Chains A and B, each alone.
Chain A
Amino acid sequence: MDKYILDIDIEKCNACMRCVFACSLARSGVIDERQAMIKIIVEKGIVIDIAVCRHCDPAPCVNVCEFDALRVEDGRVVLDQSRCTTCKACISVCPFGAIRESYGGELVKCDLCGGDPACVRVCPTGAIKYVPAHMVRTRRISSVAKTIYEYLEKIGGR
């Protein structure tokens, strides 16, 4: 089965915040931006970024974690809170600013809700879609990236 990931289109986002609230509800049962694993970054009224995990392959965060707290499960990059010590090494190398601190230093990052992302269900504009990974790649990368970082740069650079 093909791996599915989030396809993000910042241009379509109107900062309605539905995804943030849905994510926080799905994760913690309450509406609280700090517990959401997705963040809409708005500056002077303009959406400049949607910070959410792209489930990179290979994933810099997984490579860097010395605590066995980040790993790949069925193509999804997941963070195991019980193993994480908040050393924050993963934050330093994440190309998308997708790992963020919640309360007490607990880190949050998208786990794709186990395969049915809440953000995608509520996004009214199509700024976040859940699509087979190869579609995200073929649309954005014309030739197959040769090195890890060319690959990462191609997805990250837009």
Chain B
Amino acid sequence: MKTVIIGGGIGGIYTAYYLVKYGYTPNDITVIAAEWPPYSKHRLAEVLSEKLSIDYTYIGIYNLLLDKGINVIHGVADKIDITEKKVLLKGGSEIIYDNLVITTGGKPFIPPIKGVNLDNNMTFYDIKDLKKLMKIRGPLRIAVIGAGLVGLTAASALKRIGASVTVYELMEDILPGVIDKPLSSRLKDYLVGKGLRIYTGTRVEEIIGDHRVKGVKASGRIDPADIVVFATGVRPNTGLIKDIGIETVRGVIKIDRTGMTSIKNIYAAGDCALSHDLITGKEVYRPLGFVAAHYARIIARNIIGTKKETRGIVPTIYENIGGAHIVRVGLSLKEAESLGLTPSIRCEETIDQISCTVVEDGAPIGYEAVGFNERIRNKAWQVYYDIHTLYS
């Protein structure tokens, strides 16, 4: 039985890892990877801000997997032939599979506004972006579009290496969808106090320039900028499976609780696929590393034959942004509402921390905290266990 994995990111590498761990013959695994060695996007901001070598981003287990004898093709999968059960690679070669795992990840979304094709527009998404930003010298003016987790970590890393940074966010609050209003307001005040310029409720209308970026036009005003970094979200990278009959929802691959797509023996995980929310049981798009790894493990189990269904995901997020600790476990108020619940929120506030519990029918379904001192202690773990006890 041959298993072919398309994509050597987190989902792909950890599918291979768990297969090997559960006893699958390493030599029967082939990873087709456009990028190699595999790295963790979770470390891009740290490596940038601390001016370290990109070696720090590499995922340590790839050497172990190579030593065990898995096969890696450093190349790009071009087509999948489901009747012949083979993958055709760019350049002409092909490879037969019994099980196929699609972990092609995502691609950064860039809003269709005027000027986005000028030089010095970029994203903060992969190792190429990191390499570009590592070359920055001198006090450049950088506009970061989007105040989500990626935008804010990028902004604070860029500020640390000496750039003058302005963040633009369309929504009224920063970290929309991650944390709710009382927390995001306090975090914004804190970050502004640290010298980050943040414009919320501000629509970027155009990137100004001739060949290169010269400025950003937002809500009628023009601010000068040398580089524009888009952190405006992720979309699934599923061009490869278009037209082969795999069911998708708005371009995202639908998978069952074993990680299998609508076609037998073809699995998918990570930023190209949907996942299941533990609390509501609903299918959601959560492009996060631990979601990719969760399904990688489920898929590996099912490929080796020990049938395993996931109960779903409880999001567990931590980020350090400019010295503030952001924690989110379970659902936020907004996400819960978007999933059809009618939650309420209870918050506690001190000088050093603001924390909120999201409650549905008297039971906790989420917890969010932002801390402003060195202490990271909070009650997230309680809510994490409560959710697992209540909903499993």
Contacts and interface: CB of A to CB of B under 8 A. Distances in A.
Interface of A: 39, 41, 43, 48-49, 51, 60, 64, 66-68, 81-89, 91-97, 100-101, 103-106, 147-149, 152-153, 156
Interface in B265-299: 288-290, 293-294, 296-297
A82 B60 contact: yes
A86 B40 CA distance: 8
B191 interface: no
A3 to B, nearest CB: 20
8 contacts: A85-B42, A87-B40, A87-B288, A89-B317, A93-B329, A93-B384, A103-B52, A149-B381
Nearest to A88: B318
Interface stretch (B132-140, B342-350, B368-376): B368-376
Contacts of A88: 42, 317-319
Contact of B318 (A67, A91, A152, A156): A91
Given A105-B40, A149-B382, A153-B382, 14 more contacts: A39-B374, A43-B374, A48-B375, A64-B290, A81-B60, A85-B10, A86-B46, A87-B40, A100-B376, A101-B320, A104-B46, A104-B52, A149-B381, A152-B381
B154 to A, nearest CB: 14
Given A86-B40, A105-B46, A105-B47, A97 B375 contact: yes
A82 B51 CA distance: 21
A60 B376 contact: no
B21 interface: yes
B60 A89 contact: no
B61 interface: yes
Contacts of B46: 86, 101, 103-105
B42 A89 contact: no
A149 B42 contact: no
A67 B14 contact: yes
Max count, chain A CB within 10 A of own CB: residue among B317, B320, B327, B381: B381
Contacts of A67: 14, 290, 293
B50 A83 contact: no
A43 B373 contact: yes
Interface string B54-91: 00110111001000000000000000000000000000
B40 A64 contact: no
B223 interface: no
Contacts of A48: 373, 375
Interface in B313-331: 316-320, 327-329
B17 A93 contact: no
A87 to B, nearest CB: 4
A112 B21 CA distance: 26
Contacts of B221: none
Contacts of B150: none
Nearest to A156: B377
A104 B43 contact: yes
Which of the four size classes fits the interface of chain B?
A: 35 or more
Contacts of A100: 376
A111 to B, nearest CB: 16
Contacts of B288: 87
Max count, chain B CB within 10 A of own CB: residue among A66, A91, A100, A104: A66
Contact of B385 (A87, A104, A149): A149
Can you list the 3 inter-chain pairs with the closest CB atoms, starting with the nearest?
A82-B60, A97-B376, A104-B56
Nearest to B374: A41
A132 B381 CA distance: 25
B388 to A, nearest CB: 8
Contacts of B60: 81-84
A88 B42 CA distance: 9
Contacts of B382: 149, 152-153
B380 interface: yes
B386 interface: yes
Given A94-B376, A105-B42, A105-B56, A87 B384 contact: no
Contacts of B375: 41, 48-49, 51, 97
Given A92-B327, A96-B377, A87 B21 contact: no
Contact of A66 (B57, B294, B318, B376): B294
Contact of A64 (B17, B50, B289, B384): B384
A92 to B, nearest CB: 4
Contacts of B317: 88-89, 92
A56 B74 CA distance: 42
A60 B297 CA distance: 19
A100 to B, nearest CB: 8
Nearest to A58: B385
A95 B373 CA distance: 16
Nearest to B388: A63
Contact of B381 (A49, A94, A101): A94
A155 B59 CA distance: 34
A101 to B, nearest CB: 7
A91 B376 contact: yes
